[in-house]
Amino acid sequence: MRIAYQYKLKPTKVQKILINNWLSMLCAQYNYLLADRFSWYEQNRCSINACPLVCHLPDLRNNPDYFSQNKTLPNLKKTHPWYKTVHSQVLQDVVKRVKLA
């Protein structure tokens, strides 16, 4: 026989405000990381038939993968101090969700 527990959270008004602030910050971070990956793709894609053999190519930057985007999180907390309220594992989970997108 399996027993399952179901919990219901009843946050206070202050906790609701804090959770909503975290969600908006995490949404903004998710969109920024996803846009970074899309912009990298747009800058580096080239159809094989459309590229001339002799042309100037801009310097290619590394593909923004899970590890490179995870390395930017400490700098994010320094440049944007309000991200210090969010736990580091939660921010790492945002990077993981971008990887799965």
Radius of gyration of the chain (CA): 20
Global pTM reads 0.77
Model confidence pLDDT, tens digit, residues 54-74: 666 666 667 788 898 899 999
Per-residue model confidence (pLDDT) at position 62: 76
Average pLDDT on 21-29 reads: 95
| Cα distance between residue 101 and residue 86, in whole Å | 22
The pLDDT assigned to 53 comes to 63
